Structure 1
Amino acid sequence: MAQPATGPAEGPCSAPPESSVHPVDEKLPAARLLPAALQHIAAMYAGVVTPPLIIGQAVGLDTAGMTRLIAASLLIAGLATLLQTLGAGGFAGNRLPFVNAASSAGIAPMLAIAETSAPGHQLPQIYGAVLVAGAFCLAVGPFFGRLLRFFPPLVTGVVITLIGVTLMPVPVAWAQGGDTDAADFGAMRYLALAAFTLAVILVIQRFGRGFVKQVALLMGMFAGTLAAIPFGLADFSALESAPLAALPTPFAFGHPEFQPAAVLSLCIVMLVLMTESSAGMLALGEICERPADGRTITRGLRTDGVATLLGPVFGGFPTSAFAQNVGVVSLTKVRSRYVVAAAGCALLVLGAFPVLGAVVSLVPMPVLGGAGIVLFGSIAVSGIRTLSEAGLDDSSNIILVAVALGAGIIPLAAPAFYAGFPSWAQTVLGSGISAGALVAVLLNLFFHHLGTHSRTAVALKSS
């Protein structure tokens, strides 16, 4: 007969005895905590800086503006992650090893807002919509559990797939040099650099092991940047102008402006992000053997809302869970929330030192293009994986997915399709993610909710 344990568990993978600290609450020694936190930073860093890089490029920010935008994104991610892992009483924080940061899901709608806004009003209108989306999340969060039935894997799978698909033109343009108006746009040297970056990532993924494999994206970007230097494709001027240390200035990009269609678009995205966060908390609760109940999810969603509401003040974007970090917890079996809290502290440091954000802006556009194909492609794959669990053997579900994906791809295949529509409709329908999400939700109501009670009653009566 096995002897009862008399000491603490041997590691975070071990099931703790009843009297010991749960692995989620375990405080690891620095020798184990710091490398584990670094893995989380490596897994999420490219994703955190992607929204400011794309939006900053789209609205024409200069190097200094890009640096401030990246620093703000890192700062908000650090604050949100600390609030999530450490908690704030019973109000916010799920107290799980859960990473929060700016989500790529909002990129396409924000690009649509930027395209329909007058010069100088692009970021203010984006931030006005983000501000309302944050307030919307705080208001809806406590009741969101009741709405989850309208966002089954069938709907969220469509939306996540569309996020990856509709964003794919962005890295393709980066691979060609980034500036569509430049005379050398699409030059072979740009394409070669993007292909080299992609090849490095693939080789590391194939032959790398452990931590090296996890940071394949960053190592590919680093190798691509080094390769760009001899050809004069790496610009180091950002390092010269970036301040060593400075906190983001409130409303540095203008005070929020509120445009109804833009607000509606991002509130729809916020519903998707809340669904994604809820799914992430449920999955992480199972991985950590601390199931996420309704209160845990509500506190976690409030964190999303607080971070999203705070974002426009400093230059942040809609905040949600980072699925790749859930994968890190599952892969490494290190379940301590203090590890992720340490990662949150590191993000704060990165955000407080803009020169570190400037290092990211050194990465040439073609290098970002090669890495972006992997990054956005993996988002689409996540959506496909979700759809594979959504019961596609049912003909109604197949039709739902087909029509919703078609609606989401229309703006990509025919950008001028909605040119004759009112501006508010262009903002909503011009984003493949918003259009696809609307169609998926409505068709899910039509096929799986509308009249189901009456049909059930008729069936029971006839039997």
Structure 2
Amino acid sequence: MFTSGLQHVAAMYAGVVAPPMIVGPAVGLSATDTAFLMGASLFTAGIATLLQTLGFWKVGARLPFVNGVSFAGVTPMVAIGRDRGADGITVIFGAIIVASVLGFLLTPYFSKLVRFFPPVVTGTVITLIGVSLLPVAFTWSQGGNSTADDYGSMKNIGMAALTFVIVLALRKVLRGFLQQIAILLGLVAGTVIAAPLGMANLDAIKNADIVGFPTPFHFGAPQFEIAAIVSMCVVMLVCMTESTADMLALGRIVDRPADERIIEGGLRADTLGSAISPLFNGFMCSAFAQNIGLVAMTKVRSRFVVAAGGGILILLGLCPVAASVIALVPLPVLGGAGIVLFGSVAASGIQTLATAALEKGENALIVAASVGIGLIPIAAPEFYHAFPKDALVVLDSGISTGCIVAIALNLAFNHLGRKGGSDEVQQDAQGSGKPDGVTVPAPAAALH
């Protein structure tokens, strides 16, 4: 049980620590505070996983489900915290708490709303998540700090390119479980090569304790701002949609079809875990699709095995040194691996769109318009410079704006004003032969 649980941890470890590694520096946190944030994310991911697998009352899908920090919130969180200085992280935590509580209250009704989040919507959003994160990988590849003398140097970009090639080579030559953790192995290999060149950062691990507890409200009491809350509410809807699709897919794999009761319980675990997470300095949690592929590959379907993985995550979160080890990884190494990781997210979105019958109705137009609007903050960062500052929290996130446009256009073209024949149109939007909102993630897909 322990070794099988450890496999799940290894498959999702990089996905859990990557968001705090992006958000921490973006909001001005030091290497030590960013390492603390990573430990907190591991700890809260363990709590969320236990809520999902073991559960209580009506909370938990009680399926072999791993929960962790969702990539969907990274870009909006960076937009929220970027211009708020020391208060940025507390505003993020406040927005997550409110969005999670609202999500928890919405869960009994959300299963009835899933038809408004078909593959044409979810595929667009997942694609935008990956594309929005790629500039982060490019910045890492150059060295991370644009004011540094070696920013964009041949040394930095060369190390990123070497790590990129190593990850691709490992994915090609390895098989089974090792192939699942190729990105993690690539990070290790890249760090080993970069360390003798003086590129590894030892500050975080030097100051880390062997044993520690994620102090509640370590960065201060959460702050609540309307614009930030609206942005994270959009992210919560995205996370709930992805988790619903993942539960339906996992239910088929373990021969326990996810009915409305299971979906409600799973979404309650997601939202409750997300509401608790900021108390311990963690972020919004949702299902990890790559672990569904691991269940399918290993045929180990016990939820208690995944619960053991949740326990391991909690132990890692209680050991700051373990969380700090990942801080040793040089940013160019992270950048090289990040291109593959974030590109895989975009590829997963494209895979979802392949099931959305884009040749039918106005589905292609929905994707075109939503992606076009979602790319504005990436392609033209100053596009909304004249808008009110509070509006920029939503507008500067291509994920939030793209999701809103996709939902609105899907309602306009595939739901409103259609009678009788609308069932066929809506089925085309959903994708042929699959329940509403269902996508079956590829084993190596890194949706988070």
TM-score range with shorter-chain normalisation? over 0.9
Pick from 379, 389, 392 the counterpart of residue 413 of structure 1.
379
Question: 1:412 Cα deviation (Å)?
Answer: 0.4
Stretches of 4+ moved more than 4 A in 1?
Answer: 454-457
Pick from 259, 266, 269 the counterpart of residue 300 of structure 1.
266
Check conservation: 1:129, 1:258, Cα contact below 8 A.
Answer: yes
Check conservation: 1:39, 1:214, Cα contact below 8 A.
Answer: no
The residue type paired with residue 109 of structure 1 is: P
1:49 aligns with 2:9: no
Pick from 313, 319, 323 the counterpart of residue 357 of structure 1.
323
Counterpart for residue 66 of structure 2? 99
TM-score of the superposition, structure 2-length normalised?
0.92
Counterpart for residue 111 of structure 1? 78
Pair 200,451 (structure 1): closer, same or farther in 2 beyond 3 Å: same
Check conservation: 2:28, 2:86, Cα contact below 8 A.
Answer: no
Counterpart for residue 233 of structure 1? 199
CA distance in 1 between counterparts of 2:361 and 2:333 reads 42
TM-score of the superposition, structure 1-length normalised?
0.89
CA distance in 2 between counterparts of 1:176 and 1:298 reads 44
Pair 456,343 (structure 1): closer, same or farther in 2 beyond 3 Å: closer
- SS of match in other structure, 1:121: helix
Check conservation: 1:74, 1:347, Cα contact below 8 A.
Answer: yes
Deviations along 1:207-245, one digit per CA (max 9) or x if unpaired, are 112222122111110010011111100122322210111
Pair 340,65 (structure 1): closer, same or farther in 2 beyond 3 Å: same
Pair 175,143 (structure 1): closer, same or farther in 2 beyond 3 Å: same
Counterpart for residue 84 of structure 1? 52
Question: 1:399 Cα deviation (Å)?
Answer: 0.6
Pick from 154, 157, 161 the counterpart of residue 195 of structure 1.
161
Check conservation: 2:54, 2:307, Cα contact below 8 A.
Answer: yes
CA distance in 2 between counterparts of 1:410 and 1:63 reads 31
CA distance in 1 between counterparts of 2:77 and 2:261 reads 31
CA distance in 1 between counterparts of 2:345 and 2:411 reads 25
Counterpart for residue 337 of structure 2? 371
Bigger mean CA offset, 63-72 vs 166-175: 63-72
Pair 436,246 (structure 1): closer, same or farther in 2 beyond 3 Å: same
Check conservation: 2:64, 2:306, Cα contact below 8 A.
Answer: yes
The residue type paired with residue 76 of structure 2 is: P
Pick from 427, 436, 442 the counterpart of residue 402 of structure 2.
436
Deviations along 1:231-276, one digit per CA (max 9) or x if unpaired, are 1001223222101111111111121111111100110110010000
CA distance in 2 between counterparts of 1:246 and 1:121 reads 24
CA distance in 2 between counterparts of 1:278 and 1:103 reads 14
Counterpart for residue 247 of structure 1? 213
The residue type paired with residue 432 of structure 1 is: G
CA distance in 2 between counterparts of 1:395 and 1:176 reads 43
Question: 1:455 Cα deviation (Å)?
Answer: 8.1
Query: In percent, how many aligned pairs have the same letter?
Result: 52
Bigger mean CA offset, 445-454 vs 346-355: 445-454
Counterpart for residue 130 of structure 2? 164
Counterpart for residue 39 of structure 2? 71
Check conservation: 1:141, 1:298, Cα contact below 8 A.
Answer: yes
Deviations along 1:382-427, one digit per CA (max 9) or x if unpaired, are 1001100001112511111000000000110000111111122211
Question: 1:35 Cα deviation (Å)?
Answer: 3.0
Deviations along 1:342-368, one digit per CA (max 9) or x if unpaired, are 111110110000110010111110111
- SS of match in other structure, 2:210: coil
Check conservation: 2:150, 2:156, Cα contact below 8 A.
Answer: no
- SS of match in other structure, 2:219: coil
Taking the TM superposition and a 5 Å limit, the aligned residue runs for 1:103-142 are 103-115=70-82, 117-142=83-108
Question: 1:300 Cα deviation (Å)?
Answer: 0.6
Question: 1:64 Cα deviation (Å)?
Answer: 1.9
Question: 1:173 Cα deviation (Å)?
Answer: 0.4
Question: 1:34 Cα deviation (Å)?
Answer: 3.0
CA distance in 2 between counterparts of 1:454 and 1:391 reads 20
CA distance in 2 between counterparts of 1:238 and 1:413 reads 34
Question: 1:203 Cα deviation (Å)?
Answer: 1.1
- SS of match in other structure, 2:146: coil
Counterpart for residue 4 of structure 2? 36
CA distance in 1 between counterparts of 2:365 and 2:422 reads 22
The residue type paired with residue 214 of structure 1 is: Q
Deviations along 1:365-387, one digit per CA (max 9) or x if unpaired, are 01110111111101001100110
Deviations along 1:288-345, one digit per CA (max 9) or x if unpaired, are 0011111111111111111111111111111100011111111221111111111111
Q: If you compute each CA radius of gyration, which structure gives the higher value, 1 or 2?
A: 1
- SS of match in other structure, 1:168: helix
| RMSD of aligned alpha carbons | 1.3
CA distance in 1 between counterparts of 2:377 and 2:318 reads 38
Question: 1:163 Cα deviation (Å)?
Answer: 0.1
- SS of match in other structure, 2:86: coil
Taking the TM superposition and a 5 Å limit, the aligned residue runs for 1:147-162 are 147-162=113-128
